[in-house]
Structures are given as C-alpha cells and as structure tokens.
Structure 1
Amino acid sequence: MSACLKFDTKKAKEEGHQEEGSLTKTTKMDCVSLPPLSKFAICGGTHGNEMTGIHLLRHLQKHKVEKAGSVSITTVLSNPRAIDACKRYIDTDLNRCFTHTLLRTPITDSSPYELQRAHELNAIVGPKGSEEAVDLICDLHNTTANMGLCVIFNSTDLMALHIYKYIKSKITSVPVRAIDTREPISENYSLDSVGKYGFSFEVGPQPNGVLRADVFNVMKEAVDLTIEWIQQFNSGVTFDGGEAETYCPVNKVDYPRDPTTNEITAAIHPELQDNDFKPLQPGDPIFQSFAGETVKHEGKGLHPVFINECAYYEKRTAFILAEKITVTFPSICVKKDCGV
C-alpha cells in the first residue's frame, strides 16, 4: 500500500499540529520549507525500569550537553519516582497520560502521581499544541521484544519521517524500522506528542531493570544522529523526499486464557518468539499451550511487533499485528526568512 503525501495546513490546525507539520494524500510533491528547530528535548525514564534512556540522559547531563550549534537541548528524566523504584510506573503508565483530555483534567491531592507528573512535563516541554512547546521531542524507551531500533511516530510528522530516513541510512548494526501510530495529535497519549514534532526510540531486546552496552550504543548513536540531522537542517541542507516503509498497528492479540480463572493457558510459540516484523501468515503457529498444543494464526497475513513484551502482560497483549505501509513524502528545507 502506498500513500503520496503533502502538508495540509487546515488539517494541521484542526489536529493541533504546527501548521506546516501535517501531511495528506496528493499527487504534488513540492519541497516544503519549515522553521528551524531551535528547541530539542530528549526525555528518558518515562518508564522507570527502562534503563538505557535513564543512563544516557544522566550521561548527557553530566557532560552538560545543552547546546549543539543553533539548537538548545533540554534533557528530562521524566518519571523520577519510578526511576528511583526501578518500576515501570508508580500509579499509572505515564506514557498514556498526554492526551488533551488528561492534560486538561484538574489535579488534586488524590490524582495519580503520573498524571501530576504529566502536567509538570507539559509545563516544561509544552504546553501541548501551543507555540511555546519545544520544537522537537525524542523520548527514549526499551522493549523486552526483539525490535532492534524502532522509531515510533505519526507519519503526518514530516520532521520525524526525515529523521527516521536519515537514521536508517546511517545505522547498520541493527535493523531500523518505524511504527506509524496514525493517531490525531489530540488523542495521542505519549510524551513525544507534547512537542510541535516528536517521536520515540524503542530499542531491544533488553530486560527491565537491566542495562546492555550494545543497546546503549545503538540508542546513543541514534540520538547523536538526530542532533546531527537537526544541525544540518538548521544550516540550510535540503533533505530529499522519497519513500519509507512503516508498520501501522491494526490489532492487538491477547494470550489464550482460562474462561473461569482468566489466567493465560499458553506462551508465545517458539517459532514466533523473537521474530518481530516478520510476515505472519494464516496457519502459522503463534502460541503453544501448556499442554503442548499449537495455536495457529487466523486471518490475513500481517506483521507481529512487540512480541512477548513484558510490560504488555498487564495490558492483555501478547503481540500487536501491524500492516506494512509505504509512505511517500516530499523534500524539506529550512525557511530562508527564519533566524536560526
């Protein structure tokens, strides 16, 4: 499936995007000029047991990485209480707290800690949907699934698409792929949606509470390349458009469960385990019951992602099925009349 895209300023305003930052189907592929990126926020520890982002942020803060060329860099440890406890969250998942509705919900003493923290973060790097929001947010995550380096964004975000294309052309040590959320900005619940543009890095596999050097190196390289791209963009480099493969989630698959106790009765099948993004066809094994029986995939061929992600057990998700999409997008350059 292929889509040819350009900016639609009316749609951007309706969905809360920066005017030049939304795309819609068209046959015209002109170069798009955008304002420079002067404020870049790097966030880590949104989930307190995903160690790579936490330690990379501490490394950046220790070395006082606050500016790179014309862009100022803000580093934010997103969920300090969960980081101290080495837990995903204290009361509720922080990375589900950034919809417009939740950010407009009055805070009281009884509000969940993460909702209170979301309001604080919205004040630091937002407010979401405003001109005061930082230009770009990159949120750093780990997954226990075999995802390599995965960039998660909305494909209407042209900045994120170009950064993804750039990183994919540079990193060869692991597979680099993209998940396209296709969510309106107002309904997007993740921290990176607070910026004018934004995306998340998911790097794995890495167990919760564990730090792996190879995973750290991949994430650091991706962050360094993002800063490099921003500097080139701000300096006047034109980045050519083209095509990019993304994976668009269409369905969540739960584990088989006992109808009486609701406990799971099967595990991910060995032939599916660690095979994130590979095509899953009807009849392929997906679960192996504790009695040794095989459960097979029904329905059309799709691509499983976040296979056996530890944090998704509580969300009743064994894996997510995604459709591979080809997105076509225009070249971009910095606006000539904008000061950098």
Structure 2
Amino acid sequence: MPGTVYVDPLHRVAVAGGTHGNEMSGVFLVKHWLKHSSQLERDTVSAVPLLSNPKASEKGVRYYEKDLNRCFTLDILSAPDSPDDPYEVLRAKEINRLLGPRGSANAYDMILDLHNTTSNMGVCLIVSRVHNAVEMHACQYIQTHLPHYNPRIYVYAKPGTDLYSVDSVAKCGLGFELGPQPQGVVRADILQKMKTVIEMTLDFINHLNKGMEFPAFETDTYQCSGQVDFPRSSDGEISAVIHPSLQDKDFSLLHPGDLIFLTLDGQSIPYSGEKPIYPVFINEAAYYEKKIAFILAEKIRVSVPALRRQTH
C-alpha cells in the first residue's frame, strides 16, 4: 500500500448544476443554493453554486447547440474564439476562465458536477482517473457514511485520452450521476439524495482542511472499457431495443450469451462479448444520439494511499 499523500487545503470549491439543462436535480439545487448560499458553507470552505448552462436550463433541454460536458478538452479550450463557435463552446471557455484555467495553479481546488440519468444507476460517483487521492477519498467518505445509498465509483476516462467534462477544469473534480429520473422531471427522492451527497462531500472537504487524516483503503471501481450501439438496419435506423432482462440492470454482471436486445419481431439478441462485463448507463435517453445503447465497464480493485492536509 502506497504512503500518505499530502495536499493543500481545498478552499475554492464550486458546485455546478444544469451542465445538462434537462437534468433537473442539479438545476433545482443550484438555483436554490444561489438564493441560500449559506447551505454550502462549512468552517473552512464556502462552495460557490454555478448554473453551468443557463440557456439549456431555461429551455429545459440537454444543450442549446452542443453538449457542454464534452467541451472542456484542451483542444477546445485553447482554440481561438470564432463567431461560428456554438454557445456551449463559448460557455466552456467562460467557465474555464472563471474556475480555471484548466491545469493551472489558479484553477479552483474542486468542482462538484451534478447530473441525472434515465438509467438505473442509483447513486453513482464519477471520477476521471483513480490516481487523484482527493477524489477517491471523497468517494470513500460518501460510501462509508451513506452505505444505504450503495454508491458506486465509475471511472469515465480511458487511459491516454483527454478529459472533457466541466469538473476537469479544477484541480480535483467529482461528478454525481443519480437516477433513474426522466429528463425534464424532478423527483423528490432523487433530489434529496443528491442534496445529501453534496452535503457529505462538503463535510469531507471540511474535515480534510482541518487536518483529519484519512487512512489508505482498497475499493472497487467500474472503469469504462467500451460501448455498445443498438442493432441497426441498412438505413441506420434502430432495429432492436434493450431486452427486458437487461433493462434496469446497471452494474449487474453481464455474461456472454445473456440477452441484451429484442427486435420488434420478438427475436432476442445475446451479448457476444468474450468475457463477463458490467453494463452501465443502460438505455440512457441522452445517448441515443451518440449511438450508445449501454456502456461497458470493468470492475477493478484499486489501492488508494492515505490522505492528509499539507502543513507548512
């Protein structure tokens, strides 16, 4: 087990909601916190609420012109402005100036980004990599204090790929993906869970800032390894839908031969992969346009070193 990681206190924290304008828990909470910011205050940190995509939130759509949560790559952020840039590209650059710049010493210490999914993901904690001790300990703190939520850790970025999400602007980032919740709808149970998870994360940051040491641990993560599209006809139209035996089975082990699709003629299509794997984001509404029926994830056990605040 590796040794202790020492980090500077996390004083500059932002809570972003409405990155996707039809994921209503984040929209509702951030609008609430903009009026009641004291609820995001702790002894050592006062988090800043941010409505990430105002235009999309106003219209109740995922995005206005382009998916904002794919606009924070280094290529996009470093490109010169153009009058032809989509609104979300301009907004990403604005957020990068406000909370970044990405990769700089001036960047915010942490961004918490709030999302909903139509998939049965429960309480899902999203990190970009497993090597950031602050992010992983925040997840562990949530898992320890909210075991009845059964929070799972999902690693969205494949090794060697650039990051693209809004929380990548900060030195540390954590995404929260709660579901199932329909697009454009707010559910009280999901809303309350999200509020509680954010409060727990701020408690963790406060304890870290005050000097609490967090011991090393091991945990399971679900790391993105690929994606599966729907079967399609020769004209590109979807020809089969998610099979009832797969629907709502996010994070359940999928074996070769298990049924994953069903045609309108009643034909079942099995999974043809070579090994068991975990499907996530099953039948996510927003992924139809991305030609993703579900994402494949590998369950990987990781070791995380102890964490403590740096003392100078």
TM-score of the two chains, using structure 1 as the length reference? 0.89
Q: Structure 1 counterpart of 2:246, which letter?
A: L
Residue 262 in structure 1 maps to residue 233 in structure 2: no
2:192 to 197, 200, 217: 217
Residue 34 in structure 1 maps to residue 7 in structure 2: yes
Q: From the superposition, tell whether residues 186 and 107 of structure 1 become closer, same or farther in structure 2 (CA, over 3 Å).
A: farther
What are structure 2's unaligned runs of at least 5 residues? none
1:294 to 244, 268, 271: 268
CA distance in 1: counterparts of 2:216 and 2:29, whole angstroms: 31
Matches within 5 A, 1:167-246: 167-183=142-158, 187-246=162-221
Matches within 5 A, 1:1-340: 29-65=2-38, 67-153=41-127, 154-183=129-158, 187-259=162-234, 261-299=235-273, 300-337=275-312
TM-score of the two chains, using structure 2 as the length reference? 0.97
Tell me which moved more, 103-112 or 113-122.
103-112
CA distance in 2: counterparts of 1:58 and 1:207, whole angstroms: 19
CA distance in 2: counterparts of 1:172 and 1:220, whole angstroms: 16
CA contact (8 A) 2:11 2:46 kept: yes
Deviation at 1:241, TM superposition (A): 1.1
What are structure 1's unaligned runs of at least 5 residues? 1-27
Deviation at 1:58, TM superposition (A): 1.3
CA distance in 1: counterparts of 2:216 and 2:28, whole angstroms: 34
CA distance in 1: counterparts of 2:195 and 2:148, whole angstroms: 13
Q: Deviations over 1:215-258 (max 9, x none)?
A: 00110011000000011011110001111110011111000100
Q: From the superposition, tell whether residues 185 and 133 of structure 1 become closer, same or farther in structure 2 (CA, over 3 Å).
A: farther
Q: From the superposition, tell whether residues 160 and 104 of structure 1 become closer, same or farther in structure 2 (CA, over 3 Å).
A: same
Deviation at 1:213, TM superposition (A): 0.4
CA distance in 2: counterparts of 1:64 and 1:322, whole angstroms: 37
CA contact (8 A) 1:155 1:181 kept: no
CA contact (8 A) 1:155 1:182 kept: no
Q: How many residues align?
A: 309
CA distance in 1: counterparts of 2:308 and 2:263, whole angstroms: 54
CA RMSD of aligned residues (A): 1.3
Q: Structure 1 counterpart of 2:23, which letter?
A: E
CA contact (8 A) 1:246 1:326 kept: yes
Deviation at 1:174, TM superposition (A): 2.7
CA distance in 1: counterparts of 2:236 and 2:107, whole angstroms: 44
Q: Structure 2 counterpart of 1:60, which letter?
A: W
CA distance in 2: counterparts of 1:59 and 1:209, whole angstroms: 17
Q: From the superposition, tell whether residues 150 and 264 of structure 1 become closer, same or farther in structure 2 (CA, over 3 Å).
A: same
Deviation at 1:191, TM superposition (A): 0.4
